């Protein structure tokens, strides 16, 4: 299993999948290190689904820098893989006031593109705000690719294989100037997962490495 000094399990937020049908676990059937790769495995489990959600909350939190994650994504319809970050003050201020940065998400019905997205609470209107874009990634489920965040106090970039495709202007009114933690997970179904293939048995997101530079 992953090193518990660096990663723990479950968060109670995000990965808005079939929450009534999906359970996140830390069992070896759902998360393991094998052949030098971290494997997060979503599985059909009777009438529902299990997978794992790994987080660095309380163990490794940081402000600004570069994050590189080299990963291969699950191919099955209905899987919603995500490499993302949540404000470390989530438990005290809630979402979206804590801020969320999605370095990579992929829709369950579109395995040829990936998305980079920002979520926050707009201070002027005191309402939810979000901004994101997508890029073609037609070998994301068959080959490893690099998913990157470059984060400064002035601008934040989301990159795919070192190509920037989302540019976000940061400023002091936004929550993206404080500590965030990292999260890796597969959700099943839900708003970005969509309809799950009735024949689904299991699928995997493979992580070669997670690196943070500051």
206 assigned to active site: no
Q: Which helix (H) or strand (E) holds 90?
A: helix 90-93
DSSP label at 103?
A: E
Q: Which of 5, 20, 100, 134 is catalytic?
A: 100
DSSP string covering 150-207: EE-SSEEEEEETTEEEEEEE--TTSSTTS-EEEEEEEEESHHHH-SPPTT--EEEEEE
For residues 75-87, one letter each, b for 16 or more C-beta atoms within 10 angstroms of the residue's C-beta and e for the rest, the string is: ebbbbbbbbbbbb
At 69 the three-state DSSP class reads strand
Integer Cα distance of 107 and 23 in angstroms: 19
Q: Is 105 a catalytic residue?
A: yes
Residue tagged active-site, from 105, 150, 195, 206: 105
Asked if 142 contacts 72 with a C-beta cutoff of 8 angstroms, the reply is yes
Sign of dihedral through CA atoms 28, 104, 108, 206? Answer: negative
Catalytic residue numbers read 100, 105
């Amino acid at each position: 299993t992953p090193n518990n000094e660096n990663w723990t399990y479950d968060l109670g937020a995000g990965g808005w999948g079939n929450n009534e049908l999906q359970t996140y676990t830390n069992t070896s059937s759902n998360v393991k290190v094998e052949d030098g790769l971290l494997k997060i495995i979503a599985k059909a489990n009777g009438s529902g689904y299990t997978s794992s959600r790994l987080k660095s909350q309380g163990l490794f939190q940081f402000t600004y820098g570069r994050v590189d994650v080299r990963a291969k994504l699950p191919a099955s319809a209905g899987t919603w893989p995500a490499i993302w970050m949540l404000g470390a003050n989530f438990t005290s201020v809630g979402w979206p006031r804590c801020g969320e940065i999605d370095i990579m998400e992929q829709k369950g019905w579109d395995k040829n593109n990936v998305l980079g997205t920002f979520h926050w609470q707009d201070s002027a209107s005191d309402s939810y705000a979000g901004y994101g874009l997508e890029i073609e990634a037609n070998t994301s489920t068959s080959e490893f690719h690099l998913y990157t965040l470059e984060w400064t106090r002035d601008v934040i970039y989301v990159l795919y294989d070192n190509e920037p495709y989302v540019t976000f202007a940061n400023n002091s009114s936004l929550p993206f100037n404080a500590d965030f933690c990292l999260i890796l997970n597969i959700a099943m179904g839900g708003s970005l997962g969509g309809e799950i293939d009735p024949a689904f048995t299991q699928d995997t997101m493979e992580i070669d490495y997670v690196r943070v530079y500051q």
